[in-house]
Chains A and B, each alone.
Chain A
Amino acid sequence: MSERRRVGISELHVAHAPDTLVTYGLGSCLSITLYDPLIRCGGMAHTLLPAPRPGRGEARPGKFVATAVQGLLAELLALGARRERLQAKLVGGANMFENLLTPNGDLIGERNTETAREILGGLGIALVAEDVGGNYGRTAELVLNSGEVRVKSVRGPSKFLIL
């Protein structure tokens, strides 16, 4: 029986086909999905921030882009996935409010996305698709049967998108 598993904020989960992983209401947060099409297993994270502060131990790898990619990779390799087969997709990283900046004055959504691209590149994981940026929220679903990532929005230019 296929299961629909929800990935909450700061969480990461991995699963096999025929399950689906879903995360709701991404604004500046970034969802990272990794998928191995051969063994049809994959993982999803709902990250808040680019990376933990230096020297800080973090109990939740799913909270940060940097630790989430590592965490997903480790769990998928343990399930038999191969790094060279993995396909990464990114969803989210928006800037919801026109005049709201972080204390450092930058756009957190963009920084999350940039960090993910760099880390995936550094690990040699193929980034095959993304739906990021803009000023609207998104819900993302990773369908493990097909590897499709389905993106829904209520405000975006398209209400439904398949990556």
Chain B
Amino acid sequence: MSFAHLTDAQRDALREISNIGMGHAAGALSRLLGETILLKVPRVSVADLGQVPELLGGPEQEVVGVSLRMHGDAQGSMLLIFPCASALQLLESLLGPRSVEEDLDEMAASTLKEVGNILASAYLSTLGGMLRLSLLPSVPALARDMAGAVVDHILIDLGRAGDEALMLETEFHSRAGEGRLLKGHFFLLPDPDSIQTLLRGLGGVV
């Protein structure tokens, strides 16, 4: 599958299903936090693998990343990225006031993984429903480090097949007041072999 062959209509359709999927995911997060979560219009881009860390805010930017695989009829990688301040903000909302610790303790780590699981499950079940595909998230994994280091295992997987990645990205933030900005990015990077499956599914939608 050459990415160059993605038509405008296919891009638009991917953007639209991603938007609906993230809408459901944001709804789930809103209920969890008791706060409104707002979404930006998703981006559908074909990026050179080397550019991906730039799209995450720069390779040295320290982030908290929850990494999951998409399993089922189509495979891919999903990544939920929070700037460190937002991850702490999220933990405060869910677990109550906490000290700004160097390391995420076990409770914090499993809470963030669970947030990743909830978002990914809502996103994939919506996508799967629209595309008539069975799509399921794997167990989440967590890392807090430089963005480049957090994302490079995905680039390594994609790099086995080529030099480009199809990336569905949505940025979200909470509406809470000043000093309480919660910001995150959600990414789906389908495996190259699975892009055709997703596009066939889209054929039934568009």
Contact = CB atoms under 8 A, between A and B. Distances in A.
A34 to B, nearest CB: 21
Contacts of A149: none
Nearest to A136: B145
A97 B150 CA distance: 8
B150 to A, nearest CB: 6
B141 A28 contact: no
Contacts of A135: 143
Contact of B50 (A10, A96, A136, A139): A10
Contacts of B159: 10, 48-49, 63
Contact of A24 (B141, B144, B148): B148
A27 to B, nearest CB: 3
Interface string A66-90: 0000000000000000000000000
B148 A108 contact: no
Nearest to B141: A97
Contacts of A53: 160
Interface residues of B, number: 29
Given A8-B50, A10-B50, A155-B145, A26 B163 contact: no
A144 interface: no
A98 B152 CA distance: 15
Given A97-B67, A98-B141, A60 B163 contact: yes
B60 interface: yes
Given A48-B152, A100-B141, A24 B160 contact: no
Given A9-B49, A10-B49, A63-B163, A99 B149 contact: no
Contact of A27 (B141, B151, B157): B151
B147 interface: yes
B155 to A, nearest CB: 6
15 contacts: A9-B148, A10-B50, A11-B50, A25-B53, A25-B59, A26-B149, A49-B156, A59-B163, A60-B163, A96-B145, A96-B150, A97-B67, A102-B156, A137-B146, A153-B146
Interface of A: 8-11, 24-29, 48-49, 53, 59-60, 63, 94, 96-100, 102-103, 108, 135-139, 153-155
